[in-house]
A = this chain, B = another copy of it.
Amino acid sequence: MDPYAPTPADRFTFGLWTVANVGRDPFGEPTRAPLDPTYVVARLAELGAHGVNLHDADLVPDGSSAADRDRIVARFRHALADHGLVVPMATTNLFTDPVFKDGAFTSADARVRHYALAKTMRAMDLGVELGARTFVFWGGREGAEVDAGGKLLDALAWYRDAIDYLCDYALGQGYDLRFALEPKPNEPRGHAFLPTVGSALGFIATLQRPEMVGLNPELAHETMAGLSFPHALAAALDAGKLFHVDLNDQLMSRFDQDLRFGAENLKTAFFTVMLLEEAGYAGPRHFDAHALRTEDEDGVWSFASGCMRTYKILAERARRFRADPEIAAALAAYRVDDPEAAWPPRYSAEQAAALKQRAFDLAALRRRGPGLERLDQYTVELLLGVR
């Protein structure tokens, strides 16, 4: 029995666009043939996945007739049922069509904004029909290269108008659907309007129905800005906004790579898994990544299998971290309570006056070593499997 073989209970999901990625990039033509969505379903089920996610256009080409749409959807639902896969998340493609070249919800052309709303409502309908409970918004074209256009403030307002409207639509339709914003700092736009997890959290606070909207943080996107993904996850969790998660890997400060989970930085992947496993996140573990363009279809399934196996190895390592007595001792020593005062402090005029006058043994506090080098080396050796 392979302890790292994935099963549906692990809640691993992939996007149709990930395993079916054809390997096209800005400098090269596709290296792989497209895969039929129903074939993807069958293969993912074989590998032990739990579900598959999709953009509207991944399944139903834009411009399909209603009859074609219904036929495609029925065939896809059949495949899902046959193979025991679910569709926990859906989204809409507001970036491929040239109509969105200068933004969808933030286009300076109000007709484009309206079209984006219409397309999104149809994508929500499709997602709900397939069983999705989370609807993701990645604003791929919501951004700018030329600030002279002068729409920075308007763009945020238009974006908010759109999300507020779509919340109304979801409620009006009686959909059991939550929205998850997926930030990214740049690419394809020079600068994106909601560049980081923090930006999205700040934006949500300005919405009419903030309770309906959360985050879909992506490891690669946060890493592109040189930010820590575990820190971003913690911020989303702290705000009660971790509605979904996109796992992959990425080198800092370059084009969007969408590498296999764990392919670049095993420590980041480890702390990501530890947070997801320990902080009460119950949603899917979604891999938003794709096989390298060098690969053929065999490489695609190696990639998909590798994402899930690495997650499971790291989850086992997180359990071992908690069971390690030396690590436990180091963690206990790291945290120090204050014998003179409880935390959090409760303000009163007297308490504040006393705290301002309190004499601290600063020399002792300066001297104390927190033992972080030792703890980090324990972690490294745990990851390398030698403790």
Contact = CB atoms under 8 A, between A and B. Distances in A.
Interface in A176-200: 183, 185-188, 190-191, 193-200
A355 B114 contact: yes
27 contacts: A25-B188, A26-B188, A27-B96, A28-B100, A98-B366, A99-B360, A109-B368, A110-B338, A114-B341, A114-B355, A115-B360, A149-B334, A165-B345, A187-B254, A193-B231, A198-B202, A200-B202, A201-B203, A203-B235, A205-B205, A206-B239, A260-B377, A263-B376, A263-B380, A302-B373, A302-B377, A385-B386
Identical subunits present? 4
Interface stretch (A45-53, A76-84, A128-136, A306-314): A306-314
A304 B385 CA distance: 20
Interface stretch (A8-16, A35-43, A67-75, A153-161): A153-161
A294 to B, nearest CB: 5
B365 A153 contact: no
A114 B338 CA distance: 8
Given A196-B196, A336-B109, A345 B265 contact: no
A252 B251 contact: yes
Interface residues of A, number: 167
A346 to B, nearest CB: 8
A197 B193 CA distance: 12
A264 B226 CA distance: 13
Contacts of A202: 197-202, 204-205, 235, 239
List 9 A-B pairs, minimum CB-CB distance, nearest first: A385-B385, A201-B202, A198-B199, A296-B369, A198-B198, A205-B205, A253-B253, A161-B344, A110-B338
Contacts of A369: 294-299
Contacts of A226: 185-186, 224-226, 251-254
B26 A118 contact: no
A121 interface: yes
Nearest to A354: B118
A217 B197 CA distance: 17
